[in-house]
Amino acid sequence: MKRYLLIGMTLFMMSCAPIRVNYDYERGTDFTKYKTYQYYGDMETGLSELDTKRLLDAIDLKMKEKGFSISENPDFLIDIKSNEYKEVQRNNVGVGLGGGGGNMGGGVSIGLPIGQANANRQIIIDFVDEKGKGLFWEAISESVFTPNATPEKREAQLQAVTEKVLAQYPPKP
């Protein structure tokens, strides 16, 4: 029970950090025909092995809630890619020195960064129908990432990302 409470509290706290998701899908796709899925066998997620397992577990749980099941003969395949990047540092303080007199002038100015740039993670989830349409749905999520977070916080963050990503699948007609 304590574990669920901890995960719930962590999810609540993580919800304060925005998770932005962009969706795209192939128009005219009949999403009702997709009921079973599988992951690409040679998938290179760009995540650590433990984070990959956490993300796949979160996806499996959410897909099961939505009525989908894993199959050896799936209707579609899931591919996951990710990358990490630092935000451009926007906070800085300017220090200037200037002088002038008569017809002459001069000045020196420098910007000093304040704080530390946020580390962000982008996760791309593709749903691919290899027997038909090819790529038919894609979600790209971006969120703040803490590289030295505890395993519980990493799990909670990946669950929050999965929740937000799959909230719009299947798209409403």
Q: What stretch of H or E contains 5?
A: helix 2-14
Residue 62 has pLDDT above 80, yes or no: yes
Mean pLDDT, to the nearest integer, of 52-77? 97
**CB atoms inside a 10 Å sphere around CB 168:** 13
User: pLDDT, tens digit, for every residue of 126-153?
Assistant: 999 999 889 999 999 999 988 889 999 9
Domains of the chain: residue spans and CATH: 19-87+118-173 (3.30.160.670)
How many residues are recorded in the chain?
Answer: 173
Smallest CA-to-CA distance from 38 within 86, 82, 87, 76 is with: 76
| Lowest pLDDT segment from 11-15, 33-37, 154-158, 167-171 | 11-15
CB burial class (10 A; 0-12, 13-18, 19+) of residue 108? Answer: exposed
Q: Please tell me the predicted confidence (pLDDT) of residue 106.
A: 58
**DSSP-assigned beta bridge partners for residue 20:** 142
CA distances (Å), 85 to each of 68, 92, 156, in order?
Answer: 33, 20, 20
Encode burial over 125-152: b for 16+ CB neighbours within 10 A, e otherwise: bbbbbeeeeeebbbbbbbbebeeeeeee
pTM of the predicted protein model: 0.74
User: Does residue 82 surpass a pLDDT of 90?
Assistant: yes
Element (H, E) at 142: strand 134-144
pLDDT of 10 > 90? The answer is no
pLDDT at 165 over 60: yes
Using the predicted structure, report yes or no on whether residue 161 has a pLDDT greater than 60: yes
**Which residues are bridge partners to 47 per DSSP?**
none
Q: Compute the distance between CA of residue 34 and CA of residue 11 in angstroms, rounded to an integer.
A: 29
First CA to last CA across the chain, in angstroms?
A: 39
**Which range, of 83-97, 100-114, 142-156, averages the lowest pLDDT?**
100-114
